[in-house]
Structures are given as C-alpha cells and as structure tokens.
Amino acid sequence: MRLADVYRLAQQRRRPKSGLNDMIAITPVLPEIPPTQTIVARVRENAATHPDRLALVCGDASVSWGAFDKRINRVANLLLERGVGKGDNVAVISANSVAYAELFMGILRAGACVTPLSSMASPDALKKMLTDCGAKAIFVAAQYHDLVAGFVCDLGLQRFAIDFEHADFDSYETALAGAADHDPMIPIEMSDAFNLIYSSGTTGTPKGILHNHWMRAAQMERVSPNGYDDNARTLISTPLYSNTTIVAFLPTLFGGSTVYLMPKFDARTYLQIAQREKITHTMLVPVQYKRIMDVPDFDSFDLSSMRIKFSTSAPLRVDVKQDVLARFPGRLLEYYGLTEGGGVTVLAADEYPDKLHTVGKPTPGNDIRLIDTEGREVPQGEVGEICGRGPTMMSGYFGRDDLTAEYIWRGPEGQVYFRSGDMGYFDQDGFLVLSDRKKDMIISGGLNIYANDLELVLLHDEDVTDAAVIGIPSEAWGETPLGLVVCRPDATRNAADILQTANARLGKSQRLSDVEIRDRLPRSTIGKILKKDLRAPYWDKRSA
C-alpha cells in the first residue's frame, strides 16, 4: 500500500473524533522522508537523554528537561483521571509561562487536542469557540479570568485556575500535586488531532483550524537544517495561542534545546534577554522587528550569539529588512504561509538582498499555483490568487466541511490546494511577490483582524446605515483598522461616539483606531464596496 493510502485511511479512521466527516479527504504532499516520530514521542526521548538540561525559562522561572517531563506526566494523568482523553478538546487561556508550556505538552501526552484561546478575543467570541469545539476542560490564568467569568460556569466543562484561587475553579497546582508523575504512555497516531486554533471573531462563529500530529511532525524537517537541535536557545515573545509562536516553540522542544518565553513583548527587555542568555534563535513578527530596531541604543547590545532570526505572519517591509541585515547579527529567514497550511515560501534575506521585496521561493515539496477568478491558472508574471499544497496541511475547519470545501481549489489532476485569499505573482526568477489581498483581512501587530466582524458591529449602531472597515498604515502596528461609516440623516452622535460604542463591543486586538463619517461609500455595479479605492489615499500618501 502506498504511503498516501496509509495516511488517507488513518485520517478517515480518526475523523469522527476530529469534527470532520468522510466527505473531504485532504492528503498532504508526502516528503522524501515522511515523518515517523510524533512530537510527543520525541519530547519523551529528549527528557530521558538529557534530564538536567534547561527546557524552559520564563522570567525568574525555569525547569529542566527531567522536571518538565514529570510535570507533563502529571498534566496528562490529571486529565485522564478526570475522564479527558483521546480526541477531546482542552482549552487554555494564559500569557506565556512555564505552566502554559507544560499544559500544552501534557494535553498532547493524554491524547487530547490543545485548544489555545486568544487572550485578545472578546468574551462573546470566546464563548462561541468553547461551545463550538465542545471543550471538556479549560485552564485559565488570573489575568484573563474576567474574560470568561460571565459564562464559563454555564458550559459544563471542568475548570482549573492556573495561578489564582476561586470557588468556581479547581486549583491547578493542587490538582497537579495529586496526579501521578509516571508516563501514561497513551498511544498517539499521526492522524490524531494535535491542536485546534481559532480565528478571532465577534459576531459569527469563529473558524477552528484543526491540525493533526502528521502536520506538526512534518514541520520538524526544519529542525536540523535550522540548528534547533544544536543546543539552541530560542527566544519567543509572541503568544502561545498563535501559530507564529508554535512553529518556533515545537521545533526547539523537538530538538531537545531550550525555549525562553516572554509573557509580554517589550523591545528593550527583549534585547536584554537576548544579550544575557546568548540567544541563538528567535521568531518575531514585523512590528516587533521595527520596535527592536528603533531602540535608541540598539547597537550597544551584544547579539553576536544570534544564528537565525525568523519573521512571519505579515510581510516584513523592505526598509526594515535592510536595517535588520545591516545591524542585527545572524541570518534572516522570512516565511510566507497560512495557519491552515498548504504552500510555504521562504526568503533567505541574507542570501538574496536584491529580492527583499519578495517572500521568497516555495520550499521543497511545496507546490504553489496562481489562479484567476474563474479558477484558471494565470501565466507567469501575472497576478493571481495564491493556492498551495505541501506536506503541512490542516485536516479542515472543525465541524465545518462547508467552509473547508470553499477553501479548496483542485488542480488539473484533482489534487487539493488551499486558497490563500492573497494575491501575488512570480517574478522571472521564481520568487513570489505579494500584491493586494483578496481576503478582507487586516494584519495588525502580527494578528489577523477580519473586517467583516468589525463592520457588523458598526452596522449594529442605530445611527449607522452603511459601514466599511479598511486597514491603514500604522508605525506602531504595521496597519490598523479604520471604520468608515454613513450615518442616517437625523443622527445626533458624532464619529467619536460611534467609535466608543463599537470598541466597547470588540476584543482588544480588534478595536478600531478611528471612525470617519462619509456621505457615501463607493460601490461596484453589483453593489460591492470598492475597498481598494477606499484604501488607496492612505497608502498612496505613505509612499509619496
């Protein structure tokens, strides 16, 4: 039997637990050497090989690999004792911490699926996420208790307080102390659910992106080439609920190295840690690079230990890339891809200084096609929607085969490609150049904001008759959402009033930077708002 058939049969065998049915089979591209070891198994092996090496550091807290492994076992056994196991979703909402890392790996060791929740989402969105995935348990940090306090007791799931005491929650540390520290040795299959990452949302039900163990194991082919297994010290300052973080967190653990976590990003603190701990690897989003490079005495920090810096989640501006290459030691690799997976490109900026306006070439095993609005491939050099397939592809949107089907474009031979919603073209050397986005998404500070969610909130205002939200340039965040509204003729409230009302209903990461009142919004002949026309004055002003 071919490896592709083995993968497909295994995926179908586990599908009832994944929230998907048998109608959609997403078979990834098989790499030359398919993954044979899960991350769960490798972490277990690393702890046995070097128990005294540091595994995690976060502020003043640190844990060795041996102690980390025992804590992972306790988490797994706690869940199993409470009836949580194979295929169950377990949610976590917390800032980066040693406890979060051990929960992440302990949930997996129990055979369950990690569901990391965004701490920037609104309470309404969080409730919808937990209801949608049917989480069996949730672990909550003190600073985010207020986000879930209004509804979490009504959902019937088990509740644990990570770092606080509350009558409605079991104490995490107390519960953990009563759990066994031996390895439960739950069998993990490549087709088992690994993590469920939700898109942010305010009004409609957010989409849950489901990854299995195969997908995450396939990403580990980057470990040795990038030196994650060579006593790496990886500094991470983005939240663990983000795929941006996970794709640096997991390879470091897989490589048996050390992860340094920052609970909250601060440019100067980042530089102090990087210098003091002789950091070798880091993952940053573009807005973080800009803030780090803008630290007045950046050049006084000794960063000579840095080997590789990664950038993803949004395009890194050419001028920032140039500055990083000139003053920040180590290689600079920019990844373009989606949380859903599919095609991935990488730009080795230090090797191709004349291609900084691109996001690089497809990585080995990845196939990227560009299509027009009719689903036909466009000639080289022409702009089309970016569709990709590769070894790392999601299993689908949790419980939403309809949305999964919409996300798929099938190639000439029926292969499944994921539609990115981004537009771009390949230059004559095969480097991918991004142009306008087809999806109406704003990327602010490395986080995705869906304009439609914000527009529905604006339209809920009784004084607003029409609304559009666009991304405009921001020095602090890369881009930020701006609301453009048309008000009813007898409206008495001004733009500031509408802004305040809307932001009170939105999650922190979604809040509008401003609202402007317009007489009308431009529309096409079929009634679609012409957002490209709305955005143009703001972006043209910047480039002038």
- What's the pLDDT at 13? 37
Helix/strand/coil for 293:
helix
- What's the pLDDT at 126? 94
pLDDT band at 26 (very low <50, low <70, confident <90, very high): confident
Residue 282 within any structural domain of the chain: no
Most confident of 156-165, 203-212, 533-542: 156-165
CA angle 476, 479, 481 (to 5 degrees): 115
Q: What is the mean pLDDT of residues 311-332?
A: 92
Residue 167 within any structural domain of the chain: yes
- What's the pLDDT at 151? 97
pLDDT digits (tens, 9 = 90+) for 192-248: 999 999 975 434 567 999 999 999 999 999 999 999 999 999 999 999 999 999 999
pLDDT band at 11 (very low <50, low <70, confident <90, very high): very low
User: β-pairing, 137-140 with 158-161?
Assistant: parallel
- Tell me, yes or no, whether 461 and 374 share the same domain: no
Residue 311 within any structural domain of the chain: no
Percent of the chain with pLDDT over 70: 92
* Residue 128 CA from chain centroid, whole number: 19
CA nearest neighbour of 401 among 19, 16, 13, 3: 19
- Tell me, yes or no, whether 188 and 68 share the same domain: yes
- Tell me, yes or no, whether 137 and 194 share the same domain: yes
pLDDT band at 10 (very low <50, low <70, confident <90, very high): very low
- Residue 87: which CATH number? 3.40.50.980
- Tell me, yes or no, whether 409 and 510 share the same domain: no
Q: Which two tokens mark 155? A: 């959902």
Number of domains in the chain: 3
- Tell me, yes or no, whether 389 and 526 share the same domain: no
Residue where a domain terminates, one of 167, 202, 219: 219
- Tell me, yes or no, whether 372 and 433 share the same domain: yes
pLDDT band at 525 (very low <50, low <70, confident <90, very high): very low
The answer to whether the beta carbons of residues 271 and 303 sit under 8 Å apart is yes
Q: What is the mean pLDDT of residues 438-450?
A: 78
Q: What is the pTM of this model?
A: 0.83
- Tell me, yes or no, whether 405 and 486 share the same domain: no
pLDDT band at 452 (very low <50, low <70, confident <90, very high): confident
Residue where a domain terminates, one of 189, 219, 249: 219
| Gap between the Cα atoms of 116 and 106, Å rounded | 13
- Tell me, yes or no, whether 20 and 73 share the same domain: no
pLDDT digits (tens, 9 = 90+) for 260-301: 999 999 999 999 999 999 999 999 998 899 899 999 999 999
Range of the domain at 94: 63-219
**Could you say which DSSP state residue 358 is in?**
S
List, in sequence order, every residue forming a beta bridge with 188; answer none if it has no partner.
Answer: none
Residue 470 within any structural domain of the chain: yes
| Gap between the Cα atoms of 308 and 351, Å rounded | 13
- Tell me, yes or no, whether 170 and 201 share the same domain: yes
Residue where a domain terminates, one of 184, 201, 219: 219
- Tell me, yes or no, whether 531 and 419 share the same domain: no
CA nearest neighbour of 436 among 497, 384, 498: 384
Residue 321 within any structural domain of the chain: no
Q: What is the mean pLDDT of residues 348-368?
A: 96
The answer to whether the beta carbons of residues 237 and 281 sit under 8 Å apart is no
Q: How many CA atoms lie within 13 A of 533 on its CB side?
A: 8
Q: Which amino acid is at 223?
A: V
pLDDT band at 543 (very low <50, low <70, confident <90, very high): low
Lowest mean pLDDT among 218-222, 327-331, 454-458: 454-458
- Tell me, yes or no, whether 173 and 209 share the same domain: yes
Q: Is residue 437 over pLDDT 90?
A: no
List, in sequence order, every residue forming a beta bridge with 474; answer none if it has no partner.
Answer: 478
- What's the pLDDT at 200? 54
Residue 344 within any structural domain of the chain: no
Residue 290 within any structural domain of the chain: no
pLDDT band at 23 (very low <50, low <70, confident <90, very high): very low
Q: Which two tokens mark 485? A: 């509204």
- Tell me, yes or no, whether 420 and 450 share the same domain: no
Helix/strand/coil for 5:
helix
Residue 521 within any structural domain of the chain: yes
237 exposure class (CB count in 10 Å sphere: 0-12, 13-18, 19+): buried
- Residue 375: which CATH number? 2.30.38.10
